[in-house]
Structure 1
Amino acid sequence: MIHLTGTVLHGDGVASDAWIDGGTITYTRPVGADRAHTIRGVAMPGLVDVHCHIGLGADIVVERSEALAQAATVLATGVTLVRDLGVPADMTWIDAESNVPHIIHCGTHIARQKRYIRGVSRDIEPAELPDVIVEEARRGNGWVKLVGDWIERSKGADADLEPLWPREILIDAVQAAHEAGAKVAVHTFATETIDDLLEAGVDDIEHGTGMTPDQMQEVAARGILVTPTANQVATFAAIAEQAGAKYPVYARRMMGMYENRVEHMAAMADAGISLLMGSDSGSTLSHGTFPSELQACVDAGIPASAVIAAASWEGRRRLGFSALEEGSAADVVVYSDDPRSDMSVLDSPLAIIRDGRLVSEATD
């Protein structure tokens, strides 16, 4: 048994004490509480990284040993729940491991030929999308990942971000996914893609760097989730530099979004969008960077209170998971102070608990 004391932030409010017994949490002192292991600090539901690629690395699909190391690194940051937004391999084997977060699998990214990172996506023709999205949905745990736009290099110097899917096909595909019991998350940078996503009724927009103020208002009104991925957007300057003279139109757009990133993310929060937090770790960004992602979102103008809520109790609930309500599974991270007032504590959790099991505890 574990006794949490100090401050316990949970989906229904705040408590001063809680006990973990048999893998679940209770706010009523149980029999045998005097023998419990006590952890003092600010406890909250384990963090949720909704955009993470465990099993993906510089060489695309990594060996099992490296995937386990990635997962352990993520868990060590207090992340007990991951939505793995696309890996071109069956990663369900990792669910049997203990020193890993809970993982929501999303199958493989769906894209078109030469319109995404080579080797990462399942590349198809537009007409195939409704059938393929159902196939990938069946491989996942209720989510599927689409690439909504990417550079169209065939246009040479005029190349720019362009939507991948005709609107009517996208509408049919999203409907098919929903009928199969899956929600749809879409990678998008471009303004031109957003209206199609709204028409199609997607559930989650990843990055969303091209959204206009009017589109933000509509996204908020429809309750569509958005993951800002501040660390990924911070790489846009390097992407623009790499595009350089070969793709000047694309380079200007990426640099413009980079330069406007702070105002843009603050505007998302001001619009009342339901935010999620995601590191986009895997391949180009390292695993274990979730704390820096949260700090980057705060630095970009999203209030710390909104960032921490989205990374913990609100984010978990938005994905359909418990948030330390009475009798729910005990996924917990404990800090020395409230991260809403001191973000630095995110770098050094006092304790991490997964399914009621103490995974790690700091020692003096």
Structure 2
Amino acid sequence: MAVLRVRGFGLPEGEPVDLYADGDRWTTDPVPGAELVAEGWLLPGLVDAHTHPGAEKPGQPLDDTVLREDLRAHVHSGVTLIRAPGLAGDPPEWFGHADDSPRAVHAGPWLAQQGQFMAGWGRRPGLTDLPAVAAEQASRTGWAKIIIDWKPDDDVVPVDVLREAVTRVHAAGGRLAVHSQQAAGGTVAVEAGVDSIEHGMGLSPELLPRMAERGIALTPTLAAITGGLAEINADPERARKSWYVPGASAHAGLTAAAVEAGVTVLAGTDTRPHGGIAQEIRALVAAGVSPHEALAAASWTARSYLGLPGLLDGAPADAVVFDADPRTDLGRLDKPLAVIVRGRRVR
């Protein structure tokens, strides 16, 4: 396999870089005969930290063909790493390792309470068993995901149960993500010390400093939530009755406040079609997040949070290259010059 070379200005610092793909790792040592595949502004790949590939509709089983197509859409958009906090089933062994797909971490099937979440998806252990089941899942994949709240009148997972789940997941060497879209769920999640809150709609801004202090990340899935809000608001009668409207209306401001408070904010799409990470980055900027911080949420900050370094000697050979600084022109995100994963050019 030919050795690939990329050079230009590497973000986040914007300093000159010249990298060679030594197998699956970058090296700064020149390799004679290396193929210069792109020159411009380099990121260590984009990251979609909240995506559920592999099923076309809620409740459907994981489909290998759909999974491959979804992952190709991600990598075509410049995404070289995904986190799937919930899948329609246990993924095949090639997931996260195939040459034409992003690296991946995942939480396996969702864990939810009886009568909550999407019918046909996830596991529903009793509250007594929930911490042990979450720990077992995290021991296999590194992550577990619990739906701690669902509709406004549903019971929230009790804080003592969730705190025990956090303790046992951490003891197993894993991390715990939670779905929360109600204020009560956000309060419980922060009190229990989970690792990441997914969506976080309705989260009290007063909790943001504590999240920052405890290292609790927020994945706001902002474009998906505001898109749902627009759909509901198109019908005034529906909007008047919908529990969704207050939280979704405040979500952009909450997201910007989280960044300001020092919370680790991760970019995630949560929607089909896959490959829409640029839309999420633009939604973050529209909410008041700086382009630099929005791009960080979808690149170097997210990679670091998920355990991968950036454009460094010895780092995984992932990169996306643009012909200009995408922080000054977000439209560039739709037109990468090259996408490299595992030292191979995939676009």
Q: TM-score, normalised by structure 1?
A: 0.87
2:47–2:80 Cα contact (<8 Å) kept: yes
103-112 vs 50-59, which moves further: 50-59
Q: Give the equivalent residue in structure 1 for 2:69.
A: 69
Query: What is the CA-CA distance between 1:355 and the residue it aligns to?
Result: 0.8
SS at 2:74's partner residue? helix
Equivalent-residue separation in structure 2 for 1:239 and 1:93 (angstroms)? 40
Change (3 A) 1:74 1:243: farther
2:112–2:123 Cα contact (<8 Å) kept: yes
Change (3 A) 1:256 1:175: same
SS at 1:133's partner residue? helix
Q: Tell me, yes or no, if structure 1 residue 322 matches structure 2 residue 309.
A: yes
- Runs of 4 or more, structure 1, over 3 Å off, are 236-248
1:352–1:358 Cα contact (<8 Å) kept: yes
Query: What is the CA-CA distance between 1:102 and the residue it aligns to?
Result: 0.9
Change (3 A) 1:243 1:181: farther
Q: How many residues align?
A: 342
Q: Tell me, yes or no, if structure 1 residue 231 matches structure 2 residue 223.
A: yes
Change (3 A) 1:130 1:181: same
1:229–1:278 Cα contact (<8 Å) kept: yes
2:20–2:31 Cα contact (<8 Å) kept: no
**Gap runs ≥5 in structure 2:** none
1:163–1:192 Cα contact (<8 Å) kept: no
Query: What is the CA-CA distance between 1:183 and the residue it aligns to?
Result: 0.3
Change (3 A) 1:5 1:244: same
Q: Give the equivalent residue in structure 1 for 2:264.
A: 274
Equivalent-residue separation in structure 1 for 2:277 and 2:238 (angstroms)? 34
Q: What is the CA deviation profile of residues 249-296 of structure 1, one whole-angstrom value per residue up to 9, with x for unaligned ones?
A: xx2x31112222332222122212111111113xxx321111111111
2:156–2:184 Cα contact (<8 Å) kept: no
Equivalent-residue separation in structure 2 for 1:297 and 1:246 (angstroms)? 24
Query: What is the CA-CA distance between 1:23 and the residue it aligns to?
Result: 3.0
Q: Tell me, yes or no, if structure 1 residue 299 matches structure 2 residue 286.
A: yes
Equivalent-residue separation in structure 2 for 1:119 and 1:185 (angstroms)? 20
95-104 vs 43-52, which moves further: 95-104
SS at 2:346's partner residue? strand
Q: Give the equivalent residue in structure 2 for 1:333.
A: 320
1:68–1:94 Cα contact (<8 Å) kept: no
Q: Give the equivalent residue in structure 2 for 1:350.
A: 337
AA of the residue aligned to 2:221: T
SS at 1:111's partner residue? coil
Query: What is the CA-CA distance between 1:313 and the residue it aligns to?
Result: 1.2
Structure with bigger strand share is: 1
Aligned identity (percent) is 33
Q: Tell me, yes or no, if structure 1 residue 313 matches structure 2 residue 300.
A: yes
AA of the residue aligned to 2:79: V
**Gap runs ≥5 in structure 1:** 152-159
Query: What is the CA-CA distance between 1:238 and the residue it aligns to?
Result: 3.7
Change (3 A) 1:98 1:229: same
2:54–2:64 Cα contact (<8 Å) kept: yes
AA of the residue aligned to 2:324: D
Query: What is the CA-CA distance between 1:94 and the residue it aligns to?
Result: 3.1
Q: Give the equivalent residue in structure 2 for 1:102.
A: 103
Change (3 A) 1:219 1:295: same
Q: What is the CA deviation profile of residues 178-228 of structure 1, one whole-angstrom value per residue up to 9, with x for unaligned ones?
A: 111110011111111222212211010111121222111211121211111
Equivalent-residue separation in structure 2 for 1:355 and 1:110 (angstroms)? 32
AA of the residue aligned to 1:177: V
Query: What is the CA-CA distance between 1:246 and the residue it aligns to?
Result: 12
Q: What is the CA deviation profile of residues 224-258 of structure 1, one whole-angstrom value per residue up to 9, with x for unaligned ones?
A: 1111111221114546889977994xx2x311122
Change (3 A) 1:358 1:335: same
Q: Tell me, yes or no, if structure 1 residue 257 matches structure 2 residue 247.
A: yes
Q: Tell me, yes or no, if structure 1 residue 204 matches structure 2 residue 196.
A: yes
Equivalent-residue separation in structure 2 for 1:51 and 1:126 (angstroms)? 25
1:236–1:257 Cα contact (<8 Å) kept: no
Query: What is the CA-CA distance between 1:76 and the residue it aligns to?
Result: 0.5
Equivalent-residue separation in structure 2 for 1:315 and 1:222 (angstroms)? 17
SS at 1:256's partner residue? helix
Q: Tell me, yes or no, if structure 1 residue 9 matches structure 2 residue 32.
A: no
Correspondence 1:166-185 to 2 at 5 A: 166-185=158-177
Equivalent-residue separation in structure 2 for 1:92 and 1:14 (angstroms)? 39
Q: Tell me, yes or no, if structure 1 residue 43 matches structure 2 residue 42.
A: yes
Query: What is the CA-CA distance between 1:336 and the residue it aligns to?
Result: 1.2
AA of the residue aligned to 1:128: D
2:55–2:63 Cα contact (<8 Å) kept: no
1:162–1:190 Cα contact (<8 Å) kept: no
1:105–1:143 Cα contact (<8 Å) kept: yes
AA of the residue aligned to 1:130: P
1:148–1:187 Cα contact (<8 Å) kept: yes
Query: What is the CA-CA distance between 1:18 and the residue it aligns to?
Result: 2.4
State the superposition RMSD in angstroms. Answer: 2.3
SS at 2:262's partner residue? coil
